[in-house]
Chain A
């Protein structure tokens, strides 16, 4: 079955870049029937969709307005994974970050989550 394995540092300093990677098994990041999403969850913001990447003859990205300009989601076909980079982080970016597979209009497979704390 499809599994998503997340990795990344749990502590990031303010103004630095948050990076989390999601390794895919049982599916392909280049699948033309899926999209690969990042979502975060915090007590203050609840579940918040951040963005996605997907392949439909070429690569596309969508990003939430709330993080546009600071976020990059990149697929890596050689490693079959995708990554999240969030620049210029502040304590407000402290959250649990999830990767998830989207098929149709919902997310059917989720990673276990990475707790990221922004603190000096």
Chain B
């Protein structure tokens, strides 16, 4: 089973700042199979990035994804007030089909 580790656990930033979130896999993951989600309190996760670097429909271009192998990054170029949330990476594999990281909380400094 591939285990995903996310860092940092919490990122305290101000609006307008750049956020860099890391997701590390215990084994190599195909870039096609790495996604990022945003979750706000009381809401379901929302797909942001799929295939490691492709934005989902309707996602602003301040969100970008990169990486390959075991190291992936989600970058928010300039934080907007609505971006303060928890972010999860997810990989698609064989067993279990989907695993999620523990999340990074981006909160207001």
The interface of chain A, by Cβ under 8 A from chain B, is: 37, 39, 46-49, 52, 62, 64-66, 98, 100, 104-108, 110-113
- A contact residues around B50 at 8 Å (CB): 104-106, 108
- Considering the chains assembled together, what is the distance between the CA atoms of A52 and B46 in angstroms? 19
Given contacts A105-B35, A106-B92, contact A49 B44 (CB under 8 A): no
Contacts A46-B102, A107-B45, A110-B46 given; 7 further ones with Cβ under 8 A? A46-B100, A49-B100, A52-B97, A66-B96, A98-B44, A98-B45, A112-B43
Taking CB as reference atom, which chain A residue is nearest B103? A46
Contacting pair A47 B100 (CB below 8 A): yes
Instruction: Give the interface size class of chain B.
Output: 20 to 34
Contact sample, A vs B, 22 pairs, CB 8 Å cutoff: A39-B98, A46-B103, A47-B103, A49-B99, A64-B97, A65-B95, A65-B96, A98-B44, A100-B44, A104-B32, A104-B50, A106-B50, A107-B37, A107-B45, A107-B47, A107-B90, A107-B98, A108-B50, A108-B56, A112-B43, A112-B44, A113-B44
- CB-CB under 8 A from A47, the residues of chain B are 45, 88, 90, 100, 103
User: What 10 A-B pairs are tightest by C-beta distance, nearest first?
Assistant: A105-B92, A110-B44, A49-B98, A47-B100, A106-B35, A106-B50, A105-B33, A64-B96, A108-B47, A46-B102
| A106 / chain B contacts, CB cutoff of 8 Å | 35, 47, 50, 90, 92
Q: A114 → chain B, closest Cβ, in Å?
A: 11
